[in-house]
Amino acid sequence: MFWQKDIELMDKEQLRNTQLDCINKEIKIAKRSEFYKKKLSNIDKISSLDDVKNLPFTTKEDLRNSFPYGFLATDLQNVIRLHSSSGTTGNPTVVFHTAFDISNWANLSARCMYTAGARNNDIFQNTMGYGLFTGGIGFHYGAERLGMLTIPVGPGNSKRQIWFMQNFKTSVIHILPSYALRLFQTVEEMHVDVKRDLNLRIAFIGAEPHSEEMRKKIEELYNIKAFNSYGLSEISGPGVAFECECQSGLHIWEDYVYPEIIDKDTLEVLPDGCEGELVLTTLQREAMPLIRYRTRDLTKIISEPCACGRTHRRIARITARTDDMMIINGVNIFPIQIEKTIMSIPEAGRNYIIEIFENNFMDKLCIKLEIDNENFGGTLRDLEKLQNRLECELKQEIGVTPVIKFVDAGSLPVSDGKAKRVFDLRNKNK
Ligand code: ADP
Ligand code: ZN
């Protein structure tokens, strides 16, 4: 079942030809902006997709340096919306959209949701933040385009979320994976039985890195299917890549973006199947085309055919952002390695933070974990056993032995937006 069968099943060669045409159109539009007028001064068009690798990259820094209007490629009177990134890694960047861009994005979001099985008789509860953040409003438009009854609850207020779920029989939810786990605490406190009292069947989880183990945990807790949703505000927002019913990698919509994977150090383009930084070129944007935008997200392209029949290639689950890497006494560690170990141990709870500090000129990694009362017997001996098991399994996964500290459920800091897991306290001690 397809939202746009002709596009989703497009013959590979036709898809490549379309991409080439679109890139050349995007170059032409982009050159109306101050930034690309200079950057692409000696390029008018490319003659094959092989030439994409000769186009210059665009970075987050470029976007910041050209603030506010340096990337705008159309008259202001054609622009109807401004969005901004969450600013997770520094000053936010600004993105503009024409009415065509917004409509196109809504269609793409609808395609994603349909791909994962949502239909117009579903009740859609959107717990993502509305406003400058693209997570909420992006899928809101997509859900309405698909024809679902859309409940724009926004983030937080867990009791109200559950109240809506119960009263309106929400069947599809859009939620941050970290929030899905925290919300379950309220489900338990309210003695809600997910099978008896709720009607949930699908969750779209994304906007932040999460492991396969975390997805499984969410699926088990709520008795649903959870689909990985990838996007970034620079390329519109959610909807850029999405899992189909096969749940094995995210189809990156190749009529909308041209994906490449590069080695983040040498900047060479890597073949499909190799992990590196995802680089995206927009193919249909009017207000603000982006050429070879370096996402800083690490993944690989899966080019093997998908059982669903869609011809658009897939990307693997994002393992991390390049700037998420922690260096602990010279060892490189990504937070997701820690998460997947924690999530694979049922008693280990659902919420955690990672603290890094310095002691006697050595880095120390401390993991604070909320204990899951439901799954944990609670004797001191059990606690010690769990601590040892976590230390051992984490040492195996990351090569560093962390200090494990258990804390009460609900005591760790939370935010309405993306979870902040890593607290690097090293500079403060210097
Ligand atoms: P910010 O970069 O400030 O967080 P955005 O709100 O635009 O701003 O977030 C986009 C980023 O969120 C992506 O570049 C990626 O790092 C992360 N992200 C989005 N979806 C996913 C996902 N499904 N898995 C992992 N990371 C994701
Ligand atoms: Zn598929």
Ligand whose nearest atom lies closest to the CA of 314 = 2
1-323 is classed CATH 3.40.50.12780? yes
The chain-wide mean pLDDT, for the chain, equals 94
CB 173, CB 203: distance < 8 Å: yes
Examine domains 1-323 and 326-424 and report if their fold is the same: no
Phi and psi torsions of 407, nearest 5°: -130, 165
Average pLDDT over every residue of 293-311: 98
In order of 3, 55, 109, 164, the CA distances from 171 in angstroms are 19, 44, 17, 11
Atom of ligand 1 at shortest distance to CA of 295? 14
Ligand whose nearest atom lies closest to the CA of 239 = 1
Segment among 43-57, 230-244, 352-366 with least mean pLDDT: 352-366
Q: What does the pLDDT read at residue 319? A: 87
Output DSSP code: residue 329. T
Q: Supply the residue whose CA is at minimum distance from atom 12 of ligand 1.
A: 207
Which SS3 state, helix, strand or coil, does residue 112 take?
helix
Q: How far apart are CA 336 and CA 342, in angstroms?
A: 10
Q: What does the pLDDT read at residue 324? A: 85
> Which class for 248: exposed (0-12), middle (13-18), buried (19 or more C-beta within 10 A)?
middle
CB count within 10 Å of CB 381 equals 8
Q: Which residues surround ligand 2, an ion (CB under 5 A)?
A: 244, 246, 306, 308, 310
- pLDDT over 60 at 255, yes or no: yes
Ligand whose nearest atom lies closest to the CA of 138 = 1
- pLDDT over 70 at 169, yes or no: yes
pLDDT tier for residue 360 given thresholds of 50, 70 and 90: confident
**215 in ligand 1 pocket by Cβ < 6 Å?**
no
Q: How far apart are CA 166 and CA 312, in angstroms?
A: 37
In order of 172, 173, 190, 337, the CA distances from 127 in angstroms are 11, 7, 19, 27
Q: How far apart are CA 305 and CA 198, in angstroms?
A: 36
Highest mean pLDDT among 81-95, 109-123, 404-418: 109-123
Q: Supply the residue whose CA is at minimum distance from atom 25 of ligand 1.
A: 209
Q: Choose one of 230, 235, 243, 257 to mutate for the ligand 1 pocket test, by most ligand atoms within 8 angstroms of C-beta.
A: 230
Q: What does the pLDDT read at residue 91? A: 67
Q: How many angstroms from the chain centroid is the CA of residue 193?
A: 29
| N-terminal to C-terminal alpha carbon distance within the chain | 58
Ligand 1 centroid distance, CA of 315 (Å): 14
CB 376, CB 347: distance < 8 Å: yes
Q: What does the pLDDT read at residue 392? A: 94
**18 in ligand 1 pocket by Cβ < 6 Å?**
no
Average pLDDT over every residue of 208-225: 96
**238 in ligand 1 pocket by Cβ < 6 Å?**
no
Highest mean pLDDT among 272-281, 339-348, 368-377: 272-281
Q: Where are the domains of the chain?
A: 1-323, 326-424
Quote the percentage of the chain above a pLDDT of 70: 96
Q: How far apart are CA 89 and CA 92, in angstroms?
A: 8
Ligand 1 centroid distance, CA of 207 (Å): 5
CB 10, CB 309: distance < 8 Å: no
Instruction: Dig out the tokens for 315 from the structure.
Output: 């990307």
pLDDT tens string 375-396 = 666 677 788 889 999 999 999 9
Output DSSP code: residue 4. S
Atom of ligand 1 at shortest distance to CA of 296? 14
CB 208, CB 178: distance < 8 Å: yes
Q: What does the pLDDT read at residue 348? A: 81
Q: How far apart are CA 12 and CA 310, in angstroms?
A: 10
- The CATH-assigned architecture of domain 326-424 is 2-Layer Sandwich (3.30)
**4 in ligand 1 pocket by Cβ < 6 Å?**
no
Q: Are strands 123-126 and 149-151 parallel, antiparallel or unpaired?
A: parallel
**222 in ligand 1 pocket by Cβ < 6 Å?**
no
Q: What does the pLDDT read at residue 430? A: 46
Helix axes 177-189, 158-168, angle to 10 degrees: 80
Ligand whose nearest atom lies closest to the CA of 128 = 1
**231 in ligand 1 pocket by Cβ < 6 Å?**
yes
pLDDT tier for residue 322 given thresholds of 50, 70 and 90: confident
Ligand 2 centroid distance, CA of 68 (Å): 38
Output DSSP code: residue 58. B
Which SS3 state, helix, strand or coil, does residue 367 take?
strand
- pLDDT over 90 at 274, yes or no: yes
Highest mean pLDDT among 82-91, 322-331, 389-398: 389-398
Asked if residue 68 has a cis previous peptide bond (ω within 30° of 0), the answer is yes
Q: What does the pLDDT read at residue 86? A: 62
Q: What does the pLDDT read at residue 417? A: 87
Q: Choose one of 232, 240, 324 to mutate for the ligand 1 pocket test, by most ligand atoms within 8 angstroms of C-beta.
A: 232
**322 in ligand 1 pocket by Cβ < 6 Å?**
no
pLDDT tens string 6-65 = 999 999 999 999 999 999 999 999 999 999 999 999 999 999 999 999 999 999 999 999
